[in-house]
Amino acid sequence: MGFDFAIGLPHAYAAKCGFGSFREALDVLGEGEYAHFFKVSDTPSLQQPFYPPPTSERGKYKKESLATGLGIDLPGLLRRCDRKRLGRDVAECLFFTLGGKQVGRSVISGWLDVIKPARGKVCLWPFDGPYEALLLQDKEIVAEIYPAEAYGHLGFRMGAGTGLRKGSRDDRKKVSQYLLDAQSPAVQITDAARSWIEWGFRSEDDFDATAALLSMLLVVTGERRADVPNDERVRKIEGWIFGQEPTGLGAERDSREIP
């Protein structure tokens, strides 16, 4: 099961809190000293890091205030997998809750409603071991996916510098062939799905979900690997994006130009 929200903590934050692993953190976040962890605050702290609350005042809140409140510089608030990569821009800090790129609110919902309640019943990749080893266990595997990363796995790019916007149905139609090319002997795209892809989808959410699913299937069918950097901080605390290259360079399926 792939979820489009961050699963893991920045190492710098975990170190300040004394967490040795993401699993360890899950057991205490939302309880005791960290009872208000999932409540958004306008005065961020290690115990209550999500920032800021909703506002209509342009420029009122800045990420620098988040860094100051946590005592960690802005680069330190990014996990290794969040950093800018070849073919993909930098992701947002998982504690920030403002702006079009913010992911903080999905993290709050995803951890409270999905990850914490299920943590004893599922395997969390990569925290519980390599993907191939987890397949041998009789449990569902939960992994983090990121549509912007998945685009590169399928061979295209969208967003800044590409002239393509995922919010435009015409632009989604332009990359439809890349999604259809994910079909293989092991992955069959139905006529209904093909029609939906070629039409350009109803919304960017539908588009992202399909791209991420097809990216995951590249791994499941062995066309792409689920490798993780050889770094204990990544494997135990920060986590990784399913199918993302561990080198930080990225790898696209081909280099065709999008018409």
Evaluate if residue 253 carries a pLDDT over 50: no
pLDDT at residue number 56 = 67
Work out the pLDDT band at 250, boundaries 50, 70, 90: very low
What are the structural domain ranges in the chain?
2-238
CA distance 6 to 92: 10
pLDDT at residue number 89 = 86
What does the block give as tokens for 141?
A: 């595997």
pLDDT at residue number 219 = 95
- pLDDT tens figures, 220-236: 999 999 999 999 999 99
Helix (H) or strand (E) holding 141, with range, is strand 141-144
* Cis check: omega of the bond before 52, within 30 degrees of 0: yes
Evaluate if residue 249 carries a pLDDT over 70: no
- Mean pLDDT confidence for 79-107: 90
Work out the pLDDT band at 248, boundaries 50, 70, 90: low
pLDDT at residue number 254 = 41
CA distance 227 to 102: 26
Evaluate if residue 258 carries a pLDDT over 70: no
Map residue 187 onto helix, strand or coil: strand
Instruction: Spell out the residues 6+ positions from residue 142 whose beta carbon is closer than 8 angstroms to its own.
Output: 1, 3, 7, 114, 115, 118, 122, 123, 124, 125
What share of the chain in percent tops pLDDT 70? 95
Mean pLDDT, all residues of the chain: 92
Q: Read out DSSP for 15-42?
A: HHHT-SSHHHHHHHTTSGGGTTTTS--S
Tell me the whole-structure pTM to 2 decimals. 0.91
